[in-house]
Structures are given as structure tokens and as C-alpha cells.
């Protein structure tokens, strides 16, 4: 079976033809240009889908924001996208059934179908990028809640009265473990640690911070430890609630590898009830640059499987 996966981002989008059992066999990328409005963006999306669709039977879209029945209720980085019928419009332009899901939920489904969650029915997935997204699969089914907009794992409050979050709350996991948070913490430490390896570069990025931590840089290690503490507290809470077999972490920050994952695996046990210790594993997503496409494609595969 072939489906099209669309990873829709605020700056760019990627469209790929995905074959079950093989993965991505063809893909194209384009600028989103959200400033042009919903109609222009969907026309460009449809054009790219039609270029790669071959004999695909459906389209899956992973999109940011709150998604209900193919409609984007609200997407913070897409001005004017309030209650827009993304699925319906793309279906009209491509002639294919279209299924739309929140991008973090799509990431979780991608891990179930193609990644570290294959063969598992109880999964917690976290993606650490510009923000922190999350998805939960229990008994093999994506957990979405009453209105279909649940499992906002990045907005669990870890540090009351902590840094302000884009959602309006303070101390969300996103403010402590995202790439954006890592850069913010580095800049906050610049005055105290002006000679840090972090500032040998023109631009501070999360990767530079984690690379510096690997070299033993004091500021970078302090930031790494703060990220680990936040993630460990959050993951322990998720484990207590969802009792997963595996916690999968993806996104750009996950590329840090052992400098992040080794202390995280050790730290999380500090916050666990004894009965949960050793009942799950924490792993890095293996999907890397195709995770968005594969996640979106999995949205369609999941729908088709249950029909």
C-alpha cells in the first residue's frame, strides 16, 4: 500500500510517497509561505502532492496546532488559520481521501508504524524541537481525549513560576527542554560564563550547547542538567499515568545522543515509584530526517487499517 505523507511546517513543508514496508520512496520540499493565506498554501501543497502521489490511496498530513476531524482549529504559527478545512480542501484538489493529525501525534504514529515503537502497543513519544510535542499510544490506539486535542505533553508544568511559555503558562516542559529553551538558557548564562565554548560561535544553537557539554563546558553542563531534570520529572509522570513499554524521544535535541540520554536514563529513576522501575525503556527515535513524512503517512495508514 502506498500513501502520501505531508510534514507541514511554518517555514517549509515536505511531501513524500511512502510505501508500507519500504518507507519514503520519493519526496519534494517547498516553502510554506503562510503569509499568502490558507488558499494559496493549500494550492501549493496539492500541487506537490500531485507530483509524487503515483498510485497512492490516501494522504496523511501532520500539521501543527489543534486538529479536529481534518479541520485546523488553531495553529499559532499560521496567522488566520482558525477553523480552516485543511483535509477537505486538499482532498478536493488531489482527488484522494485526506487525514489530518497534530504533528506530535503523527510523530507517535510514525514510531508505531516505522520506528522504535514497531510491535509495541504502549508508547509515549516526545519530540524536542522548537517546542516540545507529545503523543501517546495505548493498547495500540492513539490517545487523543474528548475533543481530539489531548496529550499536550509539552505543556505539563514542571517548574511552577518558571519561564513563561508561549501557551501563557509558566514552567511548562517546553520552556525547559526544547531547543528554544536551551538557547535561552545559554544566553542567560552569557554574563556569568563569558568564556564558555558556547560563545565561540557566531550563533548559539541547541546543538552547539550539547556539543559543548560533551566537551565538559561548565555552562553547557549546567544547561544539560536542567534539561535532564525537567525531562526526567516529566517522563516519570507520564510513566506513572500511561505505563508505556517505551518512551521514544525525537526532534533535533535528541541528536545530542549519550550526553543527553545517559544521564536522563539515570535521573528518571529518582522520580519513579519502585513498581515502575525497569518496566520501560527510553530510546532515541531512529527515523531522523524522514520522521515528519513517515509520521504523516502513518496517520493515513492508521485510518485505513481501522476502516
Q: Where are the domains of the chain?
A: 2-109+290-305, 118-285
CATH tag, 118-285: 3.30.420.40
Residue range 211-223: mean pLDDT, rounded: 98
pLDDT exceeds cutoff 60 at 34: yes
pLDDT exceeds cutoff 60 at 301: yes
Grid look-up 501517546 returns: 136
The answer to whether 232 and 189 have CB atoms below 8 angstroms apart is no
Set of cell numbers at residue 228: 535532564
Angle between helix axes 38-52 and 86-94 (nearest 10 degrees) is 50
Q: Sorting pLDDT into bands at 50, 70 and 90, what band is 78?
A: confident
**pLDDT attached to residue 306:** 62
Q: List Cβ neighbours of 200 (8 Å cut-off, separation of 6 or more).
A: none
Q: Taking Cα atoms as reference points, which of 41, 90, 83 lies closest to residue 66? A: 83
CATH superfamily of 2-109+290-305: ATPase, nucleotide binding domain (3.30.420.40)
CA distance 181 to 113: 30
**For the chain, what is the mean pLDDT?**
94
**pLDDT attached to residue 210:** 98
Residue range 271-284: mean pLDDT, rounded: 97
Q: Do the two domains 2-109+290-305 and 118-285 of this chain adopt the same fold?
A: yes
Residue range 207-231: mean pLDDT, rounded: 98
**pLDDT attached to residue 65:** 85
Q: List Cβ neighbours of 6 (8 Å cut-off, separation of 6 or more).
A: 13, 14, 15, 45, 49, 59, 60, 61, 62, 293, 296
Residues 117-149 as b/e (b if ≥16 CB within 10 A, e otherwise) read beeeebbbbbbbbbbbbbbbbeeeebbbeeebb
Rama region for 138: left / alpha / beta (φ>0; ψ in -120 to 50; rest): beta
The answer to whether 136 and 120 have CB atoms below 8 angstroms apart is no
CA distances from 282 to 25, 95, 179, 288 (A): 29, 41, 19, 16
Set of cell numbers at residue 73: 482549529
Output the CA angle 25-30-34, nearest 5 degrees. 135
Q: Taking Cα atoms as reference points, which of 113, 3, 8 lies closest to residue 59? A: 3
Q: Is 277 helix (H, G, I), strand (E, B) or coil?
A: coil
Amino acid at each position: 500500500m502506498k500513501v502520501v505523507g505531508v510534514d507541514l511546517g511554518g517555514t517549509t513543508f515536505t511531501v513524500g510517497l511512502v510505501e508500507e514496508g519500504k518507507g519514503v520512496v520519493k519526496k519534494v520540499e517547498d516553502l510554506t509561505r503562510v503569509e499568502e493565506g490558507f488558499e494559496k498554501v493549500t494550492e501549493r501543497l496539492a500541487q506537490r502532492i500531485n507530483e509524487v502521489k503515483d498510485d497512492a490511496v490516501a494522504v496523511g498530513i501532520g500539521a501543527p496546532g489543534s486538529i479536529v476531524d481534518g479541520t485546523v482549529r488553531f495553529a499559532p504559527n499560521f496567522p488566520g488559520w482558525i477553523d480552516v478545512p485543511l483535509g477537505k480542501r486538499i482532498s478536493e484538489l488531489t482527488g484522494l481521501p485526506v487525514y489530518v493529525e497534530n504533528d506530535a501525534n503523527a510523530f507517535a504514529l510514525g514510531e508505531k508504524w516505522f520506528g522504535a515503537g514497531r510491535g509495541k502497543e504502549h508508547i509515549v513519544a516526545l519530540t524536542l524541537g522548537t517546542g516540545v510535542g507529545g503523543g501517546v499510544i495505548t493498547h495500540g490506539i492513539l490517545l487523543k481525549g474528548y475533543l481530539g486535542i489531548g496529550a499536550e505533553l509539552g505543556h505539563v508544568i514542571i517548574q511552577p513560576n518558571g519561564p513563561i511559555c508561549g501557551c501563557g503558562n509558566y514552567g511548562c516542559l517546553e520552556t525547559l527542554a526544547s531547543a528554544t529553551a536551551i538557547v535561552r538558557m545559554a544566553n542567560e548564562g552569557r554574563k556569568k560564563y563569558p568564556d564558555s565554548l558556547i560563545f565561540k560561535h557566531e550563533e548559539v544553537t541547541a546543538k552547539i550547547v550539547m556539543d559543548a557539554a560533551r566537551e565538559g563546558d561548565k555552562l553547557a553542563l549546567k544547561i544539560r542538567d536542567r534539561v535532564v531534570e525537567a525531562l526526567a520529572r516529566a517522563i516519570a509522570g507520564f510513566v506513572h499515568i500511561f505505563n508505556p513499554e517505551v518512551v521514544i524521544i525525537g526532534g533535533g535535541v535528541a541528536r545530542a545522543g549519550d550526553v543527553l540520554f545517559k544521564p536522563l536514563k539515570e535521573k528518571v529513576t529518582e522520580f519513579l515509584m519502585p513498581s515502575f522501575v525497569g518496566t520501560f525503556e527510553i530510546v532515541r527515535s531512529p527515523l531522523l530526517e524522514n520522521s515528519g513524512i513517515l509520521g504523516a503517512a502513518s496517520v493515513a495508514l492508521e485510518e485505513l487499517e481501522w476502516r
